[in-house]
Amino acid sequence: MEHQIFVVNTESIPGFRVVQVKGIVQGNTVRAKHAGRDIAASLKNLVGGELKGYTELLTESRREAMARMLQQAQQLGANAVVNVRFTTSAVTSGASEMFAYGTAVVVQPDV
Amino acid sequence: MLELIVTIVGVSIGLLLLVAAFALGGYVDRKHLANLAERERLCQSIQLSQSQHFFSPHFGGSPPQIVTAETVVANNHFKRFLASWRKFFGGEIKSFHVLVERARRETLMRLVENAQQQGFNALCNVRLDSVDIGGNTTAQGMSCICILGTATAYHSSTAKPMEATII
């Protein structure tokens, strides 16, 4: 990346003005943990508490989906992605889809 | 005779699991709640809002940035056992109500800590969504609560001490 892309989940960025809208950019990923993690999670389910394996799965998915979205934004020549949203869907048991989408825009410092 | 022994062994294993889940699960729950209370006390200086608006943004520092956090928690075997009885009779399932709240508080704290680590003092557009990963609500015996947190971190010139919980 030559320069940092601003990513926010709000409609605007204070101190910046949107000068061009490049369109919607998106990225998704479907990930699963290996069976060992699933077994560990079901054991942990006895005692309760945090299921770290699944938390990690979500974190990784989110990073991957966002990276793909940013790649698209960069190809379009945008320097910011605003109003980013995340959605998930359960594809099959033990795997989840993470979908990230936002609006790619070009922003300029205000004055 | 053999059938009787098998039944006794089966029932006692079941009871043992319930007792173990009650003891260990209770310990895990109390530890987490105490940990949350301590962290919330430490993070009271951050300005939280779930509005899309940036309250008195401070210019010159690093530009606003998205922060994310996620938490997956499960109820223990004992509480799920009680919940299954509650489902039969109907009414509020208190253990799950407490668990969902705990997961939300944990996610919010992670968002706050994430923002603070990067030097921001305010969060806006805080979103806490519950998601279903891997169809956990349908799988046999498994039930866990997943909370996804998303927010935008920024510098605010009016960040003053306030409540760390928004719900």
**pLDDT tens digit string along A39-73?**
777 777 788 888 888 888 889 889 999 999 999 99
Instruction: Give the range among B132-136, B153-157, B161-165 with minimum mean pLDDT.
Output: B161-165
Mean pLDDT for B160-166 is: 48
Q: Answer whether A95 touches B (CB < 8 Å).
A: yes
pLDDT at B138 over 50: no
Residues of B in contact with A44 (CB under 8 A): 74
Residues of A in contact with B143 (CB under 8 A): 45
Residues of B in contact with A8 (CB under 8 A): 64-66, 125, 152
Does the distance separating the beta carbons of B131 and A48 come in below 8 Å?
Answer: no
Residues of B in contact with A89 (CB under 8 A): 132
The complex's ipTM? 0.84
Does this model's pTM top 0.90? My answer is: no
Tally the C-alpha atoms within 13 A of residue A53's C-alpha that lie toward its C-beta.
Answer: 20
Write the pLDDT tens digit of every residue in B27-85.
988 999 999 999 998 888 888 998 888 888 887 778 899 999 999 888 888 888 888 88
Q: What 8-state DSSP symbol labels residue B23?
A: H
pLDDT at B165 over 50: no
Number of cross-chain residue pairs from A and B with Cβ atoms under 8 Å apart: 140
Q: How far apart are CA B104 and CA A25, in angstroms?
A: 29
Write the DSSP assignment of B32-91 as a string of letters: HHHHHHHHHHHTTTSEE--SSS-SSBPPSSPPPEEEEEEEEEE--HHHHHHHHHHHHH-S
Which pLDDT value is given to residue B163? 45
Please name which of A105, A89, A92, A110 lies closest in space to residue A7, comparing C-alpha atoms.
A105
Which residues pair with residue A31 across a beta bridge?
Answer: A96
Q: Answer whether A40 touches B (CB < 8 Å).
A: no
Query: Residue A27 in contact with residue A100, Cβ under 8 Å?
Result: yes
Does the distance separating the beta carbons of A51 and B154 come in below 8 Å?
Answer: no
